[in-house]
Amino acid sequence: MYDASVPLFTASLRNMRAWLDKAAEAGDEAVLADTRLAPDMRPLTAQYQMASDTAKNGIARLTGLTAPAMPDTETSFADLRARCDATIAFIEGVDPALFAGSETREVVLKFPNGMGYSFAGAAYLTGFALPNFYFHVTTAYAILRAAGVPLGKPDFLQHLGAPKPAEA
Amino acid sequence: MYDASVPLFTASLRNMRAWLDKAAEAGDEAVLADTRLAPDMRPLTAQYQMASDTAKNGIARLTGLTAPAMPDTETSFADLRARCDATIAFIEGVDPALFAGSETREVVLKFPNGMGYSFAGAAYLTGFALPNFYFHVTTAYAILRAAGVPLGKPDFLQHLGAPKPAEA
């Protein structure tokens, strides 16, 4: 459960943080921060916030910890970098021993309207946390790409490092 | 390894298949099939093909099977539905017993230029296959949303079913 959550979340949060450097070179930070793919979708800042929320709340729900509150006040790229850093610091600070039994720990997701889902931890991670996390990561990438920021698949998979000569 | 791959791939491929029905109602199939988010990104058809490739090749590499060849000739929504169906059928037909030991099975990714990556199976799944799969799933969704197709998060997470009254 640890191996299927912590390294995935931290790798993509580090990648997202790095995209901001290329975005700052390519465009106007304030404009990009408020850019969205469709009028009824959330802007770039919110995609970063929701990726952070899905990651930190996911780890908290699986381990029984309380995730640090982050009030979604980010507006600048500097703010978003700090949000990534704080999220990574929380996740990497969690004792791996706390994941023991997390595959069967009950996780309840409750929405403001009182509806929600109840999962075993493993089904929560694979059915909700991972797809929802990558949704926001990729939507952030898509906003930047559609706005002309020169990113590519190596930026999305930056955690792999540079490819090496391969024997197959 | 089975639980962290097969159900995730098949859930999102079924979701992607369903998005085509809403897309067909909202727009012109031929136009949408060739729509891209940025001039140097691949169009909708290719996003479906690459999601399929990542899923079926991922399962094949983890289990030692050979994935069915799919020559990327899809142009219509009917073709894309059939691609989703064929991919799901292959993945769901794999004997779960073949995943035994897959976490340490060596996986080599070799690109046409001779470069690539070598992974243990678990690192391949979490470092490459899952993020790359969700990249193409979400990019397909993003293309449709940016084109005005009325999709929402419940369509992205359709595999969860409708939420129910929650006790938290």
pLDDT of A72 reads 98
Q: State the amino acid at position B58 in one-letter form.
A: G
**Is a pLDDT exceeding 70 seen at residue B168?**
no
Evaluate whether ipTM surpasses 0.90: yes
Region B64-86: mean pLDDT is 98
Does residue B68 surpass a pLDDT of 60?
yes
Establish if A111 touches chain B: CB-CB under 8 angstroms.
Answer: yes
**Per-residue pLDDT tens digits for A107-134:** 999 988 999 999 999 999 999 999 999 9
Enumerate domains of chain A plus CATH numbers: 6-160 (1.20.120.450)
Both tokens of A66, joined, read 């309380």
Nearest to A3 among B38, B110, B122 (CB): B122
CA distance linking residue A52 with residue A98, whole number of Å: 20
B57 touches chain A (CB under 8 A): no
Q: Which of A162, A33, A39 is nearest to B146 (CA)?
A: A39
Contact of B120 with B135, CB cutoff 8 Å: no
How far does the CA of residue B59 sit from the closest CA of chain A (Å)? 16
Residues of chain A contacting B109 with CB distance shorter than 8 Å = 166, 168
Q: Which of the 8 DSSP states describes residue A107?
A: E
pLDDT at A79 over 60: yes
**Residues B35-57, mean pLDDT to the nearest whole number:** 98
Contact B124, A157 (CB under 8 A): no
State residue B166's pLDDT score.
Answer: 82
Neighbours of B118 (CB within 10 A): 15
pTM recorded for the entire structure: 0.97
Q: Which of A132, A142, A157 sits opposite B157 (nearest CB)?
A: A132
Q: How far apart are CA A18 and CA B128, in angstroms?
A: 18
3-state secondary structure of B37: coil
